[in-house]
Amino acid sequence: MAFDQSRAFDALFNPNELNLNRSVVWSSQKAKGRDVPELQFSTGEPRTLTINLLFDTYDTPDLPKKDVRKQYTDKILHLTTVEEHGKDQHRPPVCRLNWGKFGRIFVGVLEKLDQKFTMFMEDGTPVRATVTCTFKEWRKNKEDQEIQQTHSADIAKMKILRRGDTLSSIAAEEYFDPAKWRPIALANGIDNPLRIATGSALIVPRLPFKPEFNR
């Protein structure tokens, strides 16, 4: 996806550590007489990244000192709100985190935010803050499928037709090209692609597809 570079901002101090966590769900299968039941993989959970940042407007030559909220921390707060970001998608934004020569370190949504203001001017203006951010990994369905190769064109699959499915829509979903519907028709002996019944099972052959003919 395209990221809005006009909304990018920098943390003034590099974090001294990055905490990445990931969990995977394994379900126990009940089995009589087993000390250790068989485990079946269920799903993976998105990674989380926890990062501590420091923002400061006191240690600058500016006078009067600027409010650290308006200068920095409100920008992070808005990463948790629909305000300013949700006009089109009605949700907080997806964020991309970069760190120096390390480059992109994470893409995700801000799931949890803790702000602590630690220094104030005599009039109460906050000028220093520490912020703890927890981001949850985000990835488009199509991108995730391409990475896992669950929609790889070199793997044959079986698909149950849903209402509204067409051979072209299946080809678009499985091969990312609606024009490649003919291998599906040939593999299933379909003469008329407009006459396919909802609920029937179709073979989605791997590509390149070489039809076999009985002799």
The verdict on 81 and 184 lying in the same domain is no
Could you tell me the sign of the dihedral formed by the alpha carbons of 186, 190, 192, 195, in that order? negative
Q: What ranges in 19-102 are assigned the alpha helix state H?
A: 68, 74-77
Is residue 104 domain-resident?
A: yes
The verdict on 101 and 126 lying in the same domain is yes
Span 106-152, pLDDT tens digits:
999 999 999 999 999 999 999 999 999 999 998 876 665 555 555 55
Look up residue 19 and give its amino acid: N
- Contact (CB, 8 A) for 188 and 202: yes
Q: What ranges in 149-194 are assigned the alpha helix state H?
A: 167-175, 182-187
Please provide the average confidence, as pLDDT, over all residues in the chain: 82
The verdict on 95 and 180 lying in the same domain is no
Is residue 122 domain-resident?
A: yes
According to the per-residue pLDDT averaged within each range, which of 63-72, 134-143, 154-163 is highest?
63-72
Is residue 211 domain-resident?
A: no
Return d(Cα 2, Cα 125) in angstroms, integer: 36
Find the domain containing 175 and state its range: 150-204
- Report residue 214's pLDDT band, with 50, 70 and 90 as the boundaries: very low
CATH number for the domain spanning 166: value is: 3.10.350.10
What pTM value is reported for the model? 0.61
Return d(Cα 190, Cα 203) in angstroms, integer: 11
